[in-house]
């Protein structure tokens, strides 16, 4: 193909958007769409090459995969080798074991499937996976397992109309599936090929000449600038809450199509001059290596620093990214790119297969060895053990996963007593369950537990992405409240931040609601449906990526003092999204609020430690030590006789010797 400087410039736009998004520049909140731009470029370039080979009778599947190996493998395995060495040196065993799985998954081009199963791309756990970015490479390689063969067979045995019609039909089907899945199974939609294939096929449609040519310079100019505008709009206005890919992926992909199409007919347009400038062209040339190296460097910087990255560290990471990318491009990519220099086809395939076998064995060994815990001091291993911060009895949690029906729910607390209360909620309820039932036992009470990860008790409302779980859990909740008349108190413990800020729901009419509206309407419906029950809603603890066993163990390993804290002002800012909902709920005659702020936070902020022990097992779940500090408050809540509406109370903690609780202070 003739060299297209504007395409290199487009690569630069794509890779810089991704890097600046990942490093944390808020203005690039939608920078992840750079990957979508890459998909369109890849589909265009690869299809153009395949088309040329097919039309000249030079296509060879062996030659095609030789080119792929030369293009991808040297830089990829160089990055993975360096990343593996660093991971072996600094990763805790659990993190290293997880990394081992990503090594073999990336090698076999299935890392997108692995990460789909593990974590949402935008969730905090994903930030500690050095090979997370290889998901996009896996999508491409899966696409190129099938597309070249189809294209060549269509050229040899089909008509041009059949080829065009089939590609357009598949692209439209993939796009429709992407729209459907982004709304219902968003994580799968983000990672998997069926919902991403249309983006690559857009480039193919362009390369095959299916799109009508531009007839005038003004039209080409308009297309180029419109393309830049569409990409910019996505980069600067999207964020992690945007429903993606689906319809939202269309503007950046269409933008890439318009720019490439414009450049097919106009070499000196404004868009082409911008993208073809020397700096943009250079960044585009090294864009593959930039993409490969930037994410592991960001992950390792965060892993080593524990605290959020300071500006000097951010600048250092960016500098190292460009230095390593240039070296990788100059001394790894270039020597392997073209036949010659001793790298014959036979040697390239030998190198490729040997690298794959070695990487799969290495990654599998790390996983099987559970991250080689012998590398770490015993003290670090002890701190890192998240299970040590959990109650010994967790058998009553995860009701949906274990299919614990209403009649089989655990009755905990004082023995021989009919249950008088229900603990219901998500994993935050599971985190404090042991302390709730110990408090009950001290007061001669018993209760039942209905909890599962991500569950909020909102009958009639379903959580987006977990509709089946919610329907099942709601059924058990209604049965418990209607079939156990002895239960008079319902203690609701949920992860408020997640419920309100990063979740969406459907109401009974199927209308999609924001987290705030869904949570407010759903919980209001609950308390209205059971006016004879006393509902107590517990506030949420602080959250921070510096909290928990993993950061504490890393601090011990690297020799840092560990005293994490969230400033009180920041904590109140976290609460701002859900406190109004709790205030509205507290206006109901059968509702009280249990405010744990004064138990876990002081004037200096909310500490990640309590009594010299970890207050959190991870970035948001309370440890057993912190949960036990709440026992007096749970005792007061469970034994509280429900006051009239005009005497609303908020349960902070037993504030006086007589056990009375403080009045509301919204």
Per DSSP bridges, beta strands 489-493 and 534-538 are: parallel
pLDDT for res 234: 97
DSSP code for 616: B
pLDDT per position as a tens digit, 342-358: 788 888 899 999 999 99
Mean predicted confidence (pLDDT) in 149-171: 89
Mean predicted confidence (pLDDT) in 186-199: 95
pLDDT for res 340: 67
pLDDT for res 179: 96
Is the confidence at residue 155, as pLDDT, over 90?
Answer: no
Is the confidence at residue 655, as pLDDT, over 60?
Answer: no
pLDDT for res 260: 96
- Look over the chain and give the mean of its residue pLDDT values, rounded to a whole number: 90
Mean predicted confidence (pLDDT) in 572-582: 91
pLDDT for res 641: 58
Is the confidence at residue 663, as pLDDT, over 70?
Answer: no
Is the confidence at residue 510, as pLDDT, over 50?
Answer: yes
Is the confidence at residue 650, as pLDDT, over 70?
Answer: no
Share of the chain above pLDDT 90, in %: 74
Mean predicted confidence (pLDDT) in 590-603: 91
pLDDT for res 461: 94
pLDDT per position as a tens digit, 607-622: 999 989 999 999 999 9
Is the confidence at residue 89, as pLDDT, over 60?
Answer: yes
pLDDT for res 341: 67
Backbone angles phi, psi at 185, to 5 degrees: -130, 70
Question: What is the SS3 assignment for 544?
Answer: coil
Burial of 331 (0-12, 13-18, 19+ CB in 10 A): exposed
Residue ranges of the domains in the chain? 5-375, 389-543+575-597+623-663
Mean predicted confidence (pLDDT) in 460-483: 92
Residues in the chain: 666
Give me the helices (H) in 238-374, please.
Answer: 250-265, 270-275, 278-285, 287-305, 311-328, 334-337, 345-368
Mean predicted confidence (pLDDT) in 201-206: 96
Is the confidence at residue 490, as pLDDT, over 80?
Answer: yes
Mean predicted confidence (pLDDT) in 387-400: 86
pLDDT per position as a tens digit, 302-347: 999 988 899 999 999 999 999 999 999 999 999 888 766 678 888 8
pLDDT for res 332: 93
At a CB cut-off of 8 Å and minimum separation 6, what does 451 contact? 396, 397, 398, 399, 423, 424, 425, 426, 427, 429, 430, 433, 493
H or E element in which residue 594 lies = strand 591-594
The residues with which 602 forms a beta bridge, in sequence order, are: 605
Is the confidence at residue 636, as pLDDT, over 50?
Answer: yes
Per DSSP bridges, beta strands 591-594 and 534-538 are: parallel
pLDDT for res 579: 92
Query: What kind of fold does domain 389-543+575-597+623-663 have according to CATH?
Result: Rossmann fold (3.40.50)
Question: What is the SS3 assignment for 5?
Answer: helix
User: pLDDT band at residue 1, thresholds of 50, 70 and 90?
Assistant: low
Higher pLDDT, 666 or 651: 651
Cα dihedral 480, 484, 488, 489 in deg (nearest 10): -30
pLDDT per position as a tens digit, 405-455: 988 998 999 988 999 999 999 999 999 999 999 999 999 999 999 999 999
Calculate the alpha carbon distances from 197 to 45, 61, 174, 176, 421 in Å. 15, 21, 6, 11, 51
Is the confidence at residue 199, as pLDDT, over 70?
Answer: yes
Please state the separation of Cα 264 from the chain's center in Å.
37
Is the confidence at residue 659, as pLDDT, over 50?
Answer: no
CA distance 243 to 465: 12
Q: With contact defined as beta carbons under 8 Å apart, do 110 and 356 qualify? A: no
User: pLDDT band at residue 124, thresholds of 50, 70 and 90?
Assistant: low
The residues with which 71 forms a beta bridge, in sequence order, are: none
């Amino acid at each position: 193909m003739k060299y297209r400087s504007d395409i290199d410039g487009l690569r630069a736009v794509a890779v810089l958007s991704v890097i600046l998004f990942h490093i944390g520049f808020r203005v690039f909140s939608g920078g992840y769409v750079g990957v979508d731009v890459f998909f369109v470029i890849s589909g265009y370039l690869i299809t153009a090459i395949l088309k040329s080979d097919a039309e000249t009778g030079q296509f060879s599947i062996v030659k095609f995969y030789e080119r792929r190996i030369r293009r991808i493998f040297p830089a990829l395995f160089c990055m993975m080798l360096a990343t593996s060495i660093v991971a072996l040196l600094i990763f805790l065993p659990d993190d290293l074991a997880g990394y081992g799985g990503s090594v073999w998954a990336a090698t076999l081009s299935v890392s997108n499937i692995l990460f789909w199963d593990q974590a949402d791309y935008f969730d905090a756990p994903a930030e500690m996976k050095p090979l997370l970015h290889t998901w996009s490479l896996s999508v491409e390689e899966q696409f190129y397992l099938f597309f070249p063969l189809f294209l060549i067979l269509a050229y040899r045995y089909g008509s041009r109309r059949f080829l065009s019609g089939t590609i357009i039909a598949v692209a439209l089907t993939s796009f429709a599936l992407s729209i459907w899945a982004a709304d219902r199974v968003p994580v799968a939609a983000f990672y998997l090929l069926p919902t991403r294939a249309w983006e690559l096929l857009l480039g193919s449609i362009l390369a095959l000449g299916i799109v009508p040519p531009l007839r005038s310079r003004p039209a080409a100019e308009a297309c180029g600038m419109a393309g830049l505008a569409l990409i910019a709009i996505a980069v600067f206005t999207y964020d992690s809450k945007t429903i993606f890919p689906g319809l939202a992926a269309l503007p950046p992909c269409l933008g890439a199509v318009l720019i490439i199409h414009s450049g097919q007919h106009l070499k000196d347009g404004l868009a082409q001059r911008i993208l073809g400038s020397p700096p943009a062209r250079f960044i585009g040339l090294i864009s593959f290596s930039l993409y490969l190296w930037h994410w592991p460097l960001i992950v390792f910087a965060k892993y080593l620093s524990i605290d959020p990255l300071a500006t000097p560290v951010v600048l250092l990471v960016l500098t190292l990214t460009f230095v390593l990318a240039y070296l990788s491009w100059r001394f790894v990519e270039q020597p392997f790119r073209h036949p010659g220099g001793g790298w014959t086809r036979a040697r390239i395939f030998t190198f490729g297969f040997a690298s794959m076998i070695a990487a799969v064995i290495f990654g599998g060994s790390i996983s099987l060895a559970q991250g080689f815990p012998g590398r770490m001091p015993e003290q670090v291993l002890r701190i890192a053990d998240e299970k040590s911060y959990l109650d010994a009895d967790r058998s009553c949690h995860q009701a949906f996963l274990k299919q614990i029906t209403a009649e089989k729910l655990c009755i905990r607390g004082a023995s021989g007593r009919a249950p008088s209360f229900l603990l219901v909620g998500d994993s935050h309820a599971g985190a404090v369950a042991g302390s709730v039932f110990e408090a009950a036992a001290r007061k001669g009470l018993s209760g039942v537990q209905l909890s599962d990860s991500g569950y909020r008790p909102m009958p009639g409302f379903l959580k987006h992405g977990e509709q089946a779980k919610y329907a099942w859990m709601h059924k058990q909740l209604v049965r418990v409240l209607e079939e156990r008349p002895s239960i008079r108190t319902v203690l609701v413990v949920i992860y408020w931040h997640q419920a309100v800020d990063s979740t969406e729901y459907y109401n009974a009419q199927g209308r999609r609601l924001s987290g705030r509206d869904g949570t407010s309407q759903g919980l209001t419906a609950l308390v209205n449906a059971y006016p004879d029950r006393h509902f107590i809603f517990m506030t949420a603890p602080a959250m921070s990526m510096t909290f928990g066993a993993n950061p504490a163990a890393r601090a011990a390993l690297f020799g840092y003092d560990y005293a994490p804290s969230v400033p009180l002002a920041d904590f109140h800012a976290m609460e701002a999204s859900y406190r109004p909902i709790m205030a509205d709920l507290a206006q109901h005659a059968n509702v009280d609020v249990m405010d744990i702020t004064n138990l876990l936070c002081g004037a200096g902020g909310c500490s990640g430690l309590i009594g010299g022990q970890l207050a959190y097992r991870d970035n948001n779940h309370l440890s057993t030590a912190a949960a036990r500090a709440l026992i007096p408050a749970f005792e007061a809540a469970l034994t509280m006789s429900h006051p009239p509406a005009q005497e609303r109370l908020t349960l902070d903690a037993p504030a006086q010797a007589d056990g009375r609780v403080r009045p509301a202070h919204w």
